[in-house]
A = this chain, B = another copy of it.
């Protein structure tokens, strides 16, 4: 349930409602809005009786919440969330490109790619320092050395960086170096990692698990928001289906559904979904047209020598051409939306 305060409610009245929520055995969570405050009620089992709160001083009205997710839902917060990644906004009207190699391989490699993608309009640099690998015998990433390279890239180019934290053990380290921490698809229901992310002050990029429903994905985000971190960007990266022409089946239909249910930004990762470079540009254009708030795309200057996932990486020139197309599609729809009022 959401207890909506009157516009002129005082701080004492807001505190009083929170006390009443605690007294009833629940957890209050104030949700600041543009003009007024609402107080979400968490940790209830089953429906809450509105009469407990609706006549308290300063209360305007109560709103029942019908979804299992709460803090991530539009019912709790109507306006689109904009996540600030060290100055680069993700969400609402913005269209943010995240680009870089699958794995950090060397300073030289990263700097060359970072400069190229920045010139092409990317706002955030990506690169894996800790890689989740199906085989224990595969290259597992450079670890902290990779994080240091990312920090250097940020220093040289001014681009914030995002990289994956594979587990709670390395979260502190990743958080110390990165501007945004990625939780990968295989870890979408690693609840310990989600709780740790909830305690972070860094924005989180939460990938959808490849056999996860939208509800499970939003519930995973709920773990992070419940811990106190509201800066979450969702990332669709493909489902595991019987179709084998693509590594996974990019589920673009999830984007409008997530945008209806949640206020969190949602981006797409066509590189991991496709698994082959030739499919990335068309899927990226489709993602832009469906209205994602951004894309994450793998770019490598020598894909044939990449230590990981080279086959799905674009060359810097291909990325630049694609970035132009995606931006043009985004602007076109933005303009049309403004003209017709339609979305």
**Contact residues, A282-298 vs B (CB, 8 A):** 282-283, 285-291
B254 touches A252 (CB 8 A): no
Give A225's nearest chain B residue, CB to CB: B136
Q: CA of A230 to CA of B48 in the docked complex: distance in angstroms? A: 51
Which of A68, A286, A291 has the most chain B CB atoms inside 10 A of its CB? A286
**Contact residues, A47-95 vs B (CB, 8 A):** 68-70
Q: CA of A94 to CA of B241 in the docked complex: distance in angstroms? A: 31
Against B, the Cβ 8 Å flags (1 = close, 0 = not) of A301-328 are 0000000000000000010010011001
Task: Find chain B residues with CB under 8 A from A244 CB.
Answer: 213, 244
Task: Find chain B residues with CB under 8 A from A211 CB.
Answer: 210-211, 240, 242
Task: Find chain B residues with CB under 8 A from A192 CB.
Answer: 166-167, 169
A189 touches B189 (CB 8 A): no
Against B, the Cβ 8 Å flags (1 = close, 0 = not) of A238-255 are 011111111001111111
**Contact residues, A257-290 vs B (CB, 8 A):** 257, 260, 273-274, 278-279, 281-283, 285-290
Q: CA of A273 to CA of B290 in the docked complex: distance in angstroms? A: 15
- A22 interfacial by beta-carbon distance below 8 Å: no
A282 touches B274 (CB 8 A): no
Against B, the Cβ 8 Å flags (1 = close, 0 = not) of A187-218 are 10111110000000000000000110111100
A286 touches B290 (CB 8 A): yes
Known: A283-B252, A283-B290. A189 touches B134 (CB 8 A): yes
User: Which of A5-13, A31-39, A143-151, A332-340 makes up part of the contact surface?
Assistant: A332-340
Q: CA of A328 to CA of B336 in the docked complex: distance in angstroms? A: 10
Return the contact of A286 from the options B252, B257, B324 (Cβ within 8 A): B252
Which of A285, A321, A333 has the most chain B CB atoms inside 10 A of its CB? A285
B191 touches A132 (CB 8 A): yes
Give chain B nearest CB distance to A331 CB in angstroms.
10
- A186 interfacial by beta-carbon distance below 8 Å: yes
Q: CA of A133 to CA of B219 in the docked complex: distance in angstroms? A: 10
Give chain B nearest CB distance to A253 CB in angstroms.
4
A137 touches B43 (CB 8 A): yes
Q: CA of A325 to CA of B340 in the docked complex: distance in angstroms? A: 11
